[in-house]
Amino acid sequence: MAISKKVEDILNKQINAEFWSAYLYLSMANYFESEGMAGFANWMKVQFQEETSHAIKMLDYVNERGGRVILEPIAAVETDWDSVLSIFEETYKHEQHVTSLINNCVDVAIEEKDHASVNFLKWFVDEQVEEEASVSEIIDQLKMFGCQGNGLYMMDKEFRTRTFVDETKAE
Q: Find the mean pLDDT for residues 118-142.
A: 96
111/148 Cα distance (integer angstroms) = 49
Q: What is the pLDDT of residues 88-99, one digit of tens each?
A: 999 999 999 999
Domain range for residue 114? 5-165
87 pLDDT more than 90? yes
CA 63 vs. chain centroid, Å, equals 21
Residue 25 domain-assigned (yes or no): yes
Angle at 134 between CA 91 and CA 148, to 5 degrees: 70
Which CA distances in Å does 41 have to 5, 48, 110, 134?
39, 10, 38, 16
Which CA distances in Å does 164 have to 44, 58, 156, 167?
10, 18, 17, 9
Q: Which amino acid is at 33?
A: E
| CATH number of residue 151's parent domain | 1.20.1260.10
Residue 125 domain-assigned (yes or no): yes
pTM (2 decimals)? 0.93
Residue 146 domain-assigned (yes or no): yes
Q: Which amino acid is at 40?
A: F
Residue 101 domain-assigned (yes or no): yes
Q: Find the mean pLDDT for residues 6-23.
A: 98
* 71 CB-contact burial (10 Å; exposed 0-12 / middle 13-18 / buried 19+): exposed
The domain tally of the chain equals 1
Angle at 35 between CA 34 and CA 36, to 5 degrees: 95
